[in-house]
Amino acid sequence: DAYFTEKRKKLAKEGPAVFMEVMTNPFHGPQTLPVSEEDIQKSDAQAAVYVLSRKSGEGRDRRDDPGDYELTEMEKEVIRKLAASYSKFVVVLNVGGVIDTKFLRTTEGIGAILLMSQAGNVGGHALADVLTGKTTPSGRLTATWAENYMDYPGAESFSFKNGNLDDEYYREGIYVGYRYFDSFGICPAYPFGYGKSYTDFSVVVEDVKASADLVEVTVRVTNTGMVYTGKEVVQVYYSAPAGRLEKPYQELAAYGKTRELAPGQSEVLTVSYPTAFMASYDTKKAAFVMEGGTYYIRVGNHSRNTHVVAAICLDKEAVTEILSNRLTPDCGIEEFSAENTSPCTYEGEEQEKESARKILIYGADFSTNRVQYRQENAEIFPSGKEKDQAGRKGKLTDVIAGKITLEELVAQLTLEELATLCVGASRGGFGNETVIGNASVSCPGAAGDTATELFEERDVTNIALADGPAGLRLVRSFMTDREQNLIPGTAQLPIPEMEMLMAGVPKPPVPEDAVAYYQYCTAIPIATLLAQTWDMGLIEEAGDIVGEEMEEFGITLWLAPGMNIQRNPLCGRNFEYYSEDPLVTGMCAAASTKGVQKHQGMGTTIKHFACNNQEDNRMHTNAHVSERALREIYLKGFEIAVKTSQPLSIMTSYNLLNGIHTANNYDLITAIARDEWGFEGVVMTDWGTTGSIGMEPGRQFKYGHANAAGCVWAGNDLNMPGSKEDVEEIMGSVGAKEGDNYVFRRRAFIPVSGKY
């Protein structure tokens, strides 16, 4: 209580920015309670379950300390005592991310370690079903769990570790996660794709086909156990030939999951992927290329249990896509090289390669996609009139009715109306006096709305945007008067810490005729758990649940899923993200989007675009990343999601990318997302990207905020949650010449390499 009492006093003096302090310096509860001999004797049981939990969140990275990545001495003491006292002892990990498991794996008496993750509002029931054998576990890891934290690439320089929160150098390049562990021959505690079941399976490859278009692997999966039914995940990897471009030891290309198989039952799966998926990005050619040589196809059930099943032989180099280098690093980056290292191997690997069936494909058979970039946006010239010939203002409803075209409506809009449409509904006091993530006019607890100013005269209705990540985040209850006006102080805040901060704040009296409303939403599992199912149908079903509730509560855009790469296990927001692997990430986001967008008019907002891979100083850190690593690792998941499911929205990240704020980055938003991938939806900023809502008062940073006018120039459709300053800044930029160095009212808008 002392913690929140202090914060409440600070809130009264300094305002809503204190909410950010709670996120960046959260309250930590007491250590684990001890277990006494008396407790054990009173239990009168032969089996014990110990649940070890961890929490993390937005605004702060985790620490490799006891009580977080490491176990505390008290936790170890309790686990040792329980392991010695019960004939059956299970440790359940109720965690959102990776922790150190050395102690658990080396303590005698622990019968099993069960990764429960964070499973939402029916997590307890699911755990009970697995512990009692009612359900057979079939999950697989989507991140590598290392033996030691320092085994991760760049572990010593991640985020706060080297004392530099301004600049983050992605020196590992393409060697992220299992690509690094496999290529550099480092043995993990639990490899990518790993998972156990209560039964066993055999996976027999029946056929491999390949052409310049498609690779198909057909396998027969059989439950070889005697008691339990279960599901198996089949993972297909490839090893590309090392030529002038370095390649990882292997990379995931496709995967599939069986249905529930009874003992002795089999299922034939055909797992396929486009052959061009094996291409690598060549910055010298600004193209994706498949170098000539042998591509080994591997099949297994995790990254350290794959076997060569075929060898695809490409006669000469094939260029699969011609692009343009758009994200050149702003400094030199000395990337890792695996040239003089020994990759992982296994007994018989070379013999498998020699005896593998050879499939010849030819570079001449590949088609090459050459991207055409827009030279400039199509211009709609102002009509000079706010009204039509009949003296009435054009409205959006007229466009819907076919009376006028959208272009004709836009031509009528004034400069202020156009600028207003580019900025969220928060204007001045509303946004600055409301809690971040709880700033909606139309739906209490939603994160915000689009502009409301054009409703009366132009029929442009606002839409509500609700935060995630594990389902809709809304207030559970609120009250209105008889005229349906929200009664201040009656809405339950969507984040428990916020509720604690607001405790004791005076509230107006509630009228006797007040009406109570309830907005109970389903807490679906966190993204990492969903990904660990490797079941795209199940993830789509979870998205369907969210979409149905969006319809019920009037939400148009869900600010999820998060899909940044789990580059390092200490990222505070990894639980919101799917995987260290871009294919898994993209496929999961696409499945979630398909589920949500089954509901007409509802959509997802894939985020944070791009490289929001740390939380400490997330708004002002400059991520220095090579173009190849970006295109093969950090952007690939977004590309897959866009091309597979066309989400309605993308949210840019806070950070800079190679010296430019992502929200101000034309090459990222327009050239890559729209021109290269064909994205058709809305691009929005994250909340407070332009620094207009006072989230960090009085603090100085090496790199400042994004610029509101630069957001529009780059292709951002919405600055959220919005401010008067944002509107003024956008209006003030009109007529400025390209390349001019100019400053708006509050924030510098400085040209970079003449791009502005």
Tens digit of each residue's pLDDT (9 = 90 or more) over 582-623: 999 999 999 999 999 999 999 999 999 999 999 999 999 999
What CA–CA distance (Å, rounded) separates 270 from 506?
63
Closest CA to 469 of 541, 426, 519, 530: 530
> According to the model, what pLDDT value does residue 153 have?
97
What CA–CA distance (Å, rounded) separates 55 from 118?
10
- What is the average pLDDT across 136-146? 98
> What is the average pLDDT value for the chain, to the nearest integer?
91
Tens digit of each residue's pLDDT (9 = 90 or more) over 312-346: 999 999 999 999 999 999 999 999 999 999 999 99
Tens digit of each residue's pLDDT (9 = 90 or more) over 226-264: 999 999 999 999 999 999 999 999 999 999 999 999 999
pLDDT tier at 431 (50, 70, 90 boundaries)? very low
Q: Label residue 10 exposed, middle or buried (CB < 10 Å: 0-12, 13-18, 19+).
A: middle
Distances 523 to 546, 590, 640 between C-alpha atoms, Å = 9, 20, 26
686 an active-site residue? yes
> According to the model, what pLDDT value does residue 485 have?
85
> According to the model, what pLDDT value does residue 427 have?
57
pLDDT tier at 432 (50, 70, 90 boundaries)? very low
SS3 breakdown of the chain: % helix, strand, coil, rounded to 5? 30, 20, 50
What CA–CA distance (Å, rounded) separates 153 from 188?
12
Tens digit of each residue's pLDDT (9 = 90 or more) over 170-189: 999 999 999 999 999 999 99
Q: Label residue 9 exposed, middle or buried (CB < 10 Å: 0-12, 13-18, 19+).
A: exposed
Residue among 61, 68, 449, 686 flagged as catalytic:
686
More confident: 408 or 697: 408
Q: Label residue 570 exposed, middle or buried (CB < 10 Å: 0-12, 13-18, 19+).
A: buried
Share of the chain above pLDDT 90, in %: 78
pLDDT at 430 over 70: no
> According to the model, what pLDDT value does residue 746 have?
32
> According to the model, what pLDDT value does residue 482 have?
86
> According to the model, what pLDDT value does residue 102 have?
98
Name the strand (E) or helix (H) holding 14: helix 2-14
What CA–CA distance (Å, rounded) separates 214 from 208?
11
pLDDT at 157 over 90: yes
More confident: 103 or 503: 103
> According to the model, what pLDDT value does residue 743 have?
37
Which residues of 506-636 form beta strands (DSSP E)?
Answer: 515-518, 557-559, 603-609, 622-624
Tens digit of each residue's pLDDT (9 = 90 or more) over 257-313: 999 999 999 999 999 999 999 999 999 999 999 999 999 999 999 999 999 999 999
Name the strand (E) or helix (H) holding 280: strand 280-282
> According to the model, what pLDDT value does residue 51 have?
96
